[in-house]
Amino acid sequence: MDRIWKKLAAACLGMVLLLGTAACGSQPAAENKEKEAGPYAGLPKVVLVGGDSSGKGSVGQRFGELVAQKVGKKTGGQLTIDYHPNAELGGDEDLLRQLRANDIQLVVGQMAPVTAFVPEGAVFDLPMVFAPYDGKTIDRVLNGDGSFRQKLAAAYDRAGLHYMGTLQNGTYRLMTSNRPVKRVEDFQGLKIRTMSNRNHMAFWSALGANPTPLAWPELYFSLQSGIVDAEENAADSILSANFNEVQKYVAETNVILYANEMVLNKKAWENLPKAYQKALEDAVREAREELAPTLIQVDRDCKEKLQKKGMTLVAYPPEFYQAVRNQPAVQELYKKIDAQTGGLGTVMREELEK
């Protein structure tokens, strides 16, 4: 009997040792798996829907798609962006309405349409305000941690939006037209398409032109049929939209900085776990840093291609820009926009000068 009890005791001891060994062996495996998942371990999968209304292959589209690619890679597919470029989800106004309603969560676009919801965003409507500065100086103000950036972000928050940052490098929107514009007087009576932005329209009216707001998808036909004579866009957008087929001249008017911002719905942003927020912030910053150096070359290459396709490039001396800024109606517009933004225009100009 003693022999039987000794055998049972030995067997039980063996089982305990075996179970203990198994438990010890599984613990490092679990720890390794959690370590590989990093800060996203245990977080739910999230899909953000976003888009732009930029032309096919434009910088805006590249910005949005690169951020989507980076954030998906960073999080191992835990946070993804279902991105729809080239106005697949609608034009500027449609996208912003959907964004504010949280029907979509992310939009890449130029600043002008946002001023309908964020009055302070009108600082970007100040005509030729960025012209004296290089891309690095502008980037420091728009994407740094100074007073201007903080005040701008707070304004977006009040509108139910979250400002993520702006991609630019000191290049500008150009004007295409079916007649040459070489002097300030040549703007008289020019029917020019604008975005739905009252300050843009006020600027062109100040020069004697007839501004007409039109959605992007309507623009080609409107130029072709003569509904409008001219439009203003970045060189890559002009090229991708084939406006060279319906316009003869491309002019370096340089009124508005060519910049694409990324904006999220505020609630969608706040509902993201902190780890996802950081991954998205890092993805936006990295995408800006990668794409910014290419913008100057893209601008130059697109201008050359437009000329090869038959367009005439119109360049202006410094005196032309000064003459535009000196127009009494333009001076009044500067004051009006600064008041509209609660003095944010003054803050921005002061930071640009630092």
277-334 pLDDT, tens digit per residue, is 999 999 999 999 999 999 999 999 999 999 999 999 999 998 998 899 899 999 999 9
For residues 309 and 298, give the distance between their C-alpha atoms in angstroms, rounded to a whole number: 16
Greatest CA separation for the chain: 117
Residue 157 host element (H or E): helix 147-158
**What pLDDT shows up at residue 13?**
38
Order across the sheet with 106-109: list the strands.
79-84, 46-52, 106-109, 260-265, 161-167
Q: What is the pTM of this model?
A: 0.79
Burial class (CB in 10 A: 0-12, 13-18, 19+), 193: buried
118-163 pLDDT, tens digit per residue, is 999 999 999 999 988 899 999 999 999 999 999 999 999 999 999 9
Q: Which residue has the tokens 């100009």?
A: 349
Residue-range domains of the chain with CATH: 43-118+133-169+258-297 (3.40.190.170), 174-257+303-353 (3.40.190.170)
E strands in the chain? 46-52, 79-84, 106-109, 161-167, 174-177, 191-194, 210-213, 230-233, 249-251, 260-265, 312-314
**What pLDDT shows up at residue 19?**
38
The separation between CA 57 and the C-alpha centre of its own chain, rounded to angstroms, equals 14
For residues 229 and 209, give the distance between their C-alpha atoms in angstroms, rounded to a whole number: 10
Give the residue, 54 or 301, on which the prediction is more confident. Answer: 301
Q: What is the mean pLDDT of residues 4-15?
A: 42
**What pLDDT shows up at residue 195?**
85
**What pLDDT shows up at residue 131?**
84
> Looking at the predicted structure, is the pLDDT value of residue 22 above 60?
no
CB 260 within 8 A of CB 166: yes
What's the mean pLDDT when you consider all of the chain?
A: 90
> Looking at the predicted structure, is the pLDDT value of residue 17 above 70?
no
